[in-house]
Amino acid sequence: MLEIAAVRRLAILGSTGSIGVQALDVVARFPDRFEVVALAAGRNVARLAEQAARFRPRLVAVADDAAARELRAALPAGVEVVSGDAGAVAAASHPDVELVLAAISGGAGLRSTAAAVEAGKTIGLANKESLVLAGELVVRRARERGVAILPVDSEHSAIHQSLVGHNRDEVRRLILTASGGPLRAVPQAELRDVTPARALKHPNWSMGDKITIDSATLMNKGLEVIEARWLFGVEPRRIDIVVHPESIVHSMVEYIDGSMVAQLGVSDMRGPISYALGHPGRLPLDLPPLDLARLGRLTFETPDAARFPAFTLAYRALEIGGTAPAVLSGADEAAVAAFLAGRCRFTDIADLCAEALEAHAPEPVRSVEQALAASEWGRREAERRVSKRGA
């Protein structure tokens, strides 16, 4: 007799963003497998109201009181509407939720991710900053609470899939693949004058502005190194990056006998999202099949640290330790915002982050609030340096 899978009750944090929207698309395809208990988003009230009307959650969280008032007027009675950081925490720790998809972007997602861990929820982690800011702390608490963290980033999902059924002690290294971003072939002499519009034209992925610029600088890959270090317990010296423009091989694991296990798939985030939502099973998605014969070839390159030094800063932050990765993350947020606003050049982003990182006096990360404070220090320090350059 065919066993019917139990309904998995979800909280989707960051539901109006790219990952949240795609996660709800996956959920909608399997109404007998998932129930949306809680949604949390920023200030996109119109989209959140549409999502709430369709998925009928019990609790909806928004960024502030003004958005909450607007949302209450748009929703039927009986839906609890909460706001602010406390609202996202309430969604993440709702007693009826089993799995939390943590997709609130940036450092803002750390509190709710940490709350989900403390509440004993399974985590589908799409917010890499949670582990960049406080990876050692979050992973330790997850281990103590018996909480599984299932990565949703395509690269870390690929690593997770490539580790299944293997002995972790036999891993030689992890290899994260990078598309190379929209500026991969741009000569170094031209990078200084790259415009935001040009840097936002990613060849393979449709993402938010911040992460697309991070892809262009390769900072995103550096932050993924930090995330991988804590997710998989592998020392930074055993985590490598390779540029793979086709974005078909999503990442690889090399074992001590020289064997390499990789995960391949079409460039569609619904793949890693569904892997996390359905784990330990897989969901039958109707994505286009991967036609390797039509592709013809897959190419790989060493990342160019001279043109794109940002990713090297992640290794430096891990070497410094403590609050240094949080400072790097905050500095990057400020530098990218300045670039998008036309207040600094593309090549200034890595320079600003490096200066903030080296100016910081690191401390061991003992709490979520301390990690957030370090990230805010990095943001302010980079912003101060942007203003100083423009003076």
pLDDT tens per residue across span 119-157: 999 999 999 999 999 999 999 999 999 999 999 999 999
Whether omega for the bond prior to residue 236 falls within 30 degrees of 0, making it cis, is no
Query: Nearest-5° angle of CA 82, CA 114, CA 137?
Result: 160
- 193 exposed, middle or buried (CB, 10 Å; 0-12, 13-18, 19+)? exposed
Provide the pLDDT for residue 203.
76
Provide the pLDDT for residue 160.
98
Q: What Rg, from alpha-carbon coordinates, does the chain have? A: 20
Q: Which residues contact 13 (CB under 8 A, 6 or more apart)?
A: 20, 40, 88, 91, 92, 100, 101, 102, 103, 104, 109, 112, 113, 127
Q: Tell me how far CA of residue 177 lies from CA of 159, 181, 288, 298, in angstroms.
A: 10, 11, 21, 12
Dihedral of CA atoms 151, 153, 156, 159 in degrees, nearest 10, equals: 100
Copy the structure tokens of residue 37.
Answer: 């208990």
- 365 exposed, middle or buried (CB, 10 Å; 0-12, 13-18, 19+)? buried
CB-based contact 172:256 (threshold 8 Å) = yes
201 CB neighbour count, 10 Å cutoff: 11
Token pair 């003992």 is found at 366
Provide the pLDDT for residue 208.
79
Provide the pLDDT for residue 2.
42
Per DSSP, the chain holds a count of helices (H) and strands (E) of 17, 11
> Which of the residues in the chain have pLDDT under 70?
1-5, 205-206, 390-391
Provide the pLDDT for residue 206.
67
Provide the pLDDT for residue 5.
60
Copy the structure tokens of residue 264.
Answer: 């391949």
Rounded Cα gap, residues 154 and 204, in angstroms: 13
CB-based contact 161:275 (threshold 8 Å) = yes
Q: Tell me how far CA of residue 78 lies from CA of 50, 57, 59, 229, 351, in angstroms.
A: 16, 10, 9, 43, 51
Provide the pLDDT for residue 1.
39
